[in-house]
């Protein structure tokens, strides 16, 4: 009990840190630009105003994404769901659709397997896992990114799903701490992994699986998660 309470207190501290720092920066940018526009509106060219508005909009979306992530992270702990057989092809397609603009911008090639083994989970949560893994692979893959997805049934009946990119890879000292909740490592946070991978870990562990990553510097990275294999539906308690 003491260990669990300590872990929750540490998570609350990190949660507060994320709210204070990750939200503060885009909010400061929006506020600063709004004040500049308010004070000197008549002196700005149309091009300058457009650029300011785009920057404000981009940072507003960033704040919205952070809030959504925090709400999802908090909600997973309390939620009670039933694991059901997943339509993984459909879930991956939905995740790709959400990232279509990013993939088009980076000219990413996404390679899918012809079929998917059946696993159990909660479809909306698993879609979030794919969105996190795919967006990281597209952002930090090669130029252009080549992203390969796959799955394999393991000896214990669980299914291992993975996303492989052709990026620069991740240093060993960072790799082992990627999924640490709200990690503050500079390299991890600069790559945008901190909150997203905390969400992935909580979702997958709540569904009875595990997460991990494999990488060699200069040879890309593979992020994976496991889920229980096909079987009768089972309830996941809070």
State residue 193's pLDDT score. 41
Q: What is the DSSP letter of 229?
A: B
pLDDT tens track for 32-70? 989 988 888 788 888 888 888 999 998 888 788 777 777
* Mean predicted lDDT score pLDDT of the chain: 83
pLDDT tens track for 201-212? 888 999 999 999
pLDDT band at 227; cut points 50, 70, 90: very high
State residue 223's pLDDT score. 96
Task: Say what the pTM is.
Answer: 0.74
State residue 46's pLDDT score. 87
Query: Is 27's pLDDT higher than 90?
Result: no
Tokens describing residue 147: 């992203």
Distance between CA atoms of residues 1 and 4, nearest Å: 5
Residues in CB range of 208: below 8 A, 6 or more apart: 83, 120, 227, 228, 236
- Asked if 89 and 122 count as a contact pair (C-beta separation under 8 A), the reply is no
Distance between CA atoms of residues 138 and 114, nearest Å: 21
pLDDT tens track for 182-191? 544 333 433 4
């Amino acid at each position: 009990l003491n260990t669990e309470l300590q872990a929750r207190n540490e998570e609350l501290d990190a949660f507060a840190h994320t709210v204070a720092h990750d939200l503060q920066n885009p909010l400061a940018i929006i506020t600063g630009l709004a004040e500049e526009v308010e004070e000197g509106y008549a002196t700005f060219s149309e091009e300058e105003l457009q650029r300011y508005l785009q920057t404000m909009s981009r940072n507003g979306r960033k704040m919205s994404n952070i809030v959504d992530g925090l709400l999802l992270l908090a909600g997973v702990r309390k939620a009670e769901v039933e694991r059901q057989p997943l339509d993984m092809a459909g879930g991956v397609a939905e995740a790709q659709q959400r990232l279509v603009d990013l993939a088009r911008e980076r000219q990413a090639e996404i390679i899918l397997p012809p079929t998917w083994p059946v696993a159990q989970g909660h479809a909306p949560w698993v879609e979030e896992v794919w969105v996190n893994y795919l967006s990281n692979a597209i952002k930090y893959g090669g130029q252009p990114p080549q992203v390969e997805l796959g799955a394999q049934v393991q000896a214990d009946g669980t299914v291992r799903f993975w996303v492989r990119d052709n990026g620069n890879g991740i240093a060993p000292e960072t790799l082992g701490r990627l999924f640490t909740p709200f990690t503050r490592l500079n390299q991890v946070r600069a790559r945008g992994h901190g909150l997203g991978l905390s969400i992935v870990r909580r979702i997958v562990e709540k569904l009875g699986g595990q997460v991990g990553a494999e990488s060699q510097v200069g040879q890309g990275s593979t992020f994976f998660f496991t889920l229980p294999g096909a079987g009768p539906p089972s309830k996941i308690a809070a």
